[in-house]
Structure 1
Amino acid sequence: MTIRTLLCLLLIPFTGEIMAQELTGKQLLQNAIEYHDPEGQWSTFRGKLKIVMETPKSEDRISEIWIDLPSDIFRLTARKGELTTHYELINGACNLRLNGELEFDLDEAEKAGLTCERATLYRNYYTYLYGLPMKLKDPGTNVDPVVKRMTFKGKEYLVLNVNYDQEVGTDVWRFYFDPTTYAMEVYQFFKGDPEGKGKNTGEYILLDGIEMVEGMKIPKTRAWYYNKGDKYLGTDILQ
């Protein structure tokens, strides 16, 4: 065996490591998008999501969501116990219902969080989280060009650091991808620099399982925890 052949054999186990180190942030993001949305469906997504939210010492919240991105339509009907709230945004126009009724007591509605401001918040929340990692290509999103290798809960990941233009958002995010498949398995946000004053702020979300939705691989469960103290907050389950 020649020295050249021996060197080639020795290098084979490290090829994946070298390639990962050479990935830029944009390349890692593109690889992750190709895993989760191989046919580029997100930008024209029209579909329904049913999500069960489990939280400690509380009844489950069942949400049925209709998202139509091309037509700018968002609908959410949420049921928790005997209370049903309905939010609808169509091209910016807001419609609300409380227990199926268009006319309702305003104080009762405010107590239930039934407001147009909350409708906008829910739209942004669900389209962002369930549109990841594709949403990281939106305007105002700043992807760090340096990809880091970090260990989280005993597993090593390729990590993408993201912040936003001031008018978009102030949180600092980390996204953790499997180094082989590029599947997104964890994300985490901080209220400031995670290496500084923001270290013990914010939350992390553990993703598990995959549901196929309109050709996209969307995480089935999202379990939420505080960064500080690892306190469990709840789990969203996509059905």
Structure 2
Amino acid sequence: MKKLTTLLFVALATISLHAQDLTGPQLLEKAIQYHDPQGKWESFKGTLLVTMETPNSPNRDSEIKIDLPNQYFYVKATRAGKTTEYTVDKEKCTILFNGKTPTEEEKKANGLSCDRANLYKNYYSYLYGLPMKLKDPGTQIDAKINKIKFKGKPYLVLRATYKEGVGKDVWFFYFNPKTYAMEIYQFLKNGEQNTGEYILLSGMETINGIKMPKTRAWYYNKDDKYLGTDILKSKK
């Protein structure tokens, strides 16, 4: 498989076309209309069940609760007989390990901290809130979009950067030119080539009216090494 990074940079260097006469912000609006047609993300309250499969490791099963209006986040993750629970309720953070408040030794041995709790909150809210999260303050959407083919399939590519203090990575989002569904995204650490990862999206799970990618397969940009797959389902 050809490296997605190489394809991207060659394409951006050689194909500087306005796709279908859309601007970046216009493409984003069409993508949001596909994924969140009723504008429900800002008031999202829901539970996500995510299984993470990684090579040579047991699965990690997570139950994630996101309540944006009440600034509440909860994740319970179980792997290899260990269960961690993080709650961020506005500014208050709570940690449980195997159902109990962890000792300082358990925190250190298992990397448990409120910093990690907030990292998970931001991580899950960002990735499962895409592409709507690209409307957040501090996000800078390129006016020009580009056409690129990956594995023979055409995409409209949107580039996003962030203001100082918000983020340093450069992100690229690949949308289906017919439906405007998000099918790939990629980030470069500090914008440097051959860093970061790309993520292939497949399937769709509709949760509280929002279409979220069901399966996300992660790869390194530098060598296409497979990292793992997240599988989403809603709580029945």
TM-score of the two chains, using structure 2 as the length reference: 0.90
Counterpart amino acid of residue 120 in structure 1: N
What is the alpha-carbon root mean square deviation over aligned residues?
1.2
Distance verdict in 2 for CA 1:232–1:19, change over 3 Å: closer
Alignment of 1:141-160 (within 5 A): 141-160=139-158
Counterpart amino acid of residue 62 in structure 1: D
Cα distance in structure 2, aligned partners of 1:152 and 1:168 = 30
1:46 paired with 2:40, answer: no
Cα distance in structure 2, aligned partners of 1:236 and 1:122 = 14
Aligned-pair distance for 1:19? Answer: 8.8
User: 2:212 — aligned with what?
Assistant: 218
Cα distance in structure 2, aligned partners of 1:58 and 1:143 = 37
User: Pick from 184, 198, 201: which aligns with 2:195?
Assistant: 201
1:124 paired with 2:156, answer: no
User: 2:224 — aligned with what?
Assistant: 230
1:60 paired with 2:59, answer: yes
Alignment of 1:92-107 (within 5 A): 92-102=91-101, 104-107=102-105
Counterpart amino acid of residue 190 in structure 1: L
User: 1:15 — aligned with what?
Assistant: none
Aligned-pair distance for 1:21? Answer: 2.9
User: 2:12 — aligned with what?
Assistant: none
1:172-202 per-position Cα deviation (integer Å, ceiling 9, x unaligned):
0000000000000000000233xxxx11111
- Larger-Rg structure: 1
Cα distance in structure 1, aligned partners of 2:77 and 2:190 = 32
1:21 touches 1:147 (CA, 8 Å); kept in 2? no
Q: Give the share of equivalent positions with the same residue, in percent.
A: 57
User: Pick from 114, 120, 128: which aligns with 2:112?
Assistant: 114
Q: Secondary structure in 1 aligned to 2:190?
A: coil
Cα distance in structure 2, aligned partners of 1:95 and 1:19 = 48
User: 1:71 — aligned with what?
Assistant: 70
State how many pairs are aligned.
217
Cα distance in structure 2, aligned partners of 1:107 and 1:118 = 16
Q: Secondary structure in 2 aligned to 1:128?
A: helix
Q: Secondary structure in 2 aligned to 1:74?
A: strand
1:87 touches 1:114 (CA, 8 Å); kept in 2? no
2:18 touches 2:144 (CA, 8 Å); kept in 1? no
2:18 touches 2:146 (CA, 8 Å); kept in 1? no
Cα distance in structure 2, aligned partners of 1:218 and 1:69 = 16
Q: Secondary structure in 2 aligned to 1:38?
A: coil
2:50 touches 2:230 (CA, 8 Å); kept in 1? yes
Alignment of 1:156-171 (within 5 A): 156-171=154-169
Cα distance in structure 2, aligned partners of 1:63 and 1:113 = 17
Gaps spanning 5+ residues in structure 2: where? 1-16
| 4+ runs deviating over 4 angstroms | none
TM-score of the two chains, using structure 1 as the length reference: 0.88
Structure showing greater relative contact order (alpha-carbon pairs closer than 8 Å, 6 or more residues apart): 2
- For structure 1, which segment, 108-117 or 74-83, has the greater mean C-alpha deviation from structure 2 after superposition? 108-117
Counterpart amino acid of residue 134 in structure 1: M
Counterpart amino acid of residue 51 in structure 1: V
Cα distance in structure 2, aligned partners of 1:217 and 1:148 = 24
